Amino acid sequence: MKKLDTLLAEKLMRISAIKLQTDSPFAWATGWNSPIYCDLRMTLSYPDVRNLIKVEMARLIMENFGDAEVIAGIATGAIAHGALVADSLAMPFVYVRSTPKSHGLENLIEGDIKPGQKVVLIEDQLSTGNNCMKCLNTVLEAGGDVLGVVAIFDFQFAQAAKALKRAKLPVVTLTNFETMIDVALKNRDITPEDAETLQHWHSDPESWAPAGLDAVD
């Protein structure tokens, strides 16, 4: 029987929620050039993948953060997944923005967090960790007690790991970059040369800059 991280990585690549293009890299919103693009909103269109993520996230929450009282999705990518998980656990749900909306009440948090409530953050993908840290601080300022983060995919960048460790924020993920590489090689979706390119990018994503970029939203 396949391990969860391997099974999910296979499914994410099958539905093109993860795309690998070493010969025609993408441009991230951070300004980084990347041979990988991860759009986990795609999973919402595939009930089997969507349900697997929901069930396994709920399981990880119960196993690792059993006294959680509120589920908080990090906007915008994790809103839908967070709501699905909260519903399956019969818990209150909120979502958290990294910046205030530009109209109305200019809320950072949509929904109700009461002071002292124990909160689990739901993230679709962990990359730089900046968005996660902003949302952590927002929930703390609202009086919430953040128990940890559950994410679908972890890019396993050192800077994110260091930031989350400094914040003493436990992180649990369903699958990750290294597992994705292993799966892609095994299924011959990439060559060993492609894997080397991906690892080179991973070691210094901010400076990696090949020619031929596709801009993405």
- Whether residue 214 is predicted with pLDDT greater than 80 in this model: the reply is no
Distance between CA atoms of 40 and 62, rounded to whole angstroms?
Answer: 23
Q: Which domain holds residue 121?
A: 4-215
Q: Where residue 82 sits, what CATH number does that domain have?
A: 3.40.50.2020
Higher pLDDT, residue 39 or 104:
39
Cα dihedral across residues 162, 173, 185, 26: positive or negative: negative
The reported pLDDT for the residue numbered 79 is 98
Q: How confident is the model at residue 103 (pLDDT cuts 50, 70, 90)?
A: low
- Rounded Cα distance, 126 and 43, in Å: 16
Mean pLDDT of the chain: 93
Tell me the percentage of the chain whose pLDDT exceeds 70.
Answer: 94
SS3 18: strand
Q: What average pLDDT does this structure show over 16-34?
A: 92
Long-range contacts of 101-106 (CB under 8 A, 24+ apart): none
Average pLDDT, integer, range 153-162: 95
pLDDT in tens, 163-213: 999 999 999 999 999 999 999 999 999 999 999 999 999 999 999 977 544
Q: What is the pTM of this model?
A: 0.92
137 Cα distance to chain centroid = 18
Per-residue pLDDT, 101: 65
Residue 79's Cα: distance from chain center in Å? 11
Q: What's the CA dihedral at 186, 187, 189, 193 to 10 degrees?
A: 20
What tokens does 77 get?
Answer: 């990518």
Q: Distance (Å, rounded) from C-alpha 162 to C-alpha 13?
A: 28
Rg of the chain over Cα atoms, rounded to whole angstroms, equals 17
| Proportion of the chain above pLDDT 90, given as a percent | 86
Lowest mean pLDDT among 51-60, 98-107, 114-123, 197-206: 98-107
Query: Is 50 exceeded by the pLDDT of residue 141?
Result: yes
User: How many structural domains compose the chain?
Assistant: 1
Other beta carbons within 10 Å of 63: 9
pLDDT of residue 215: 41
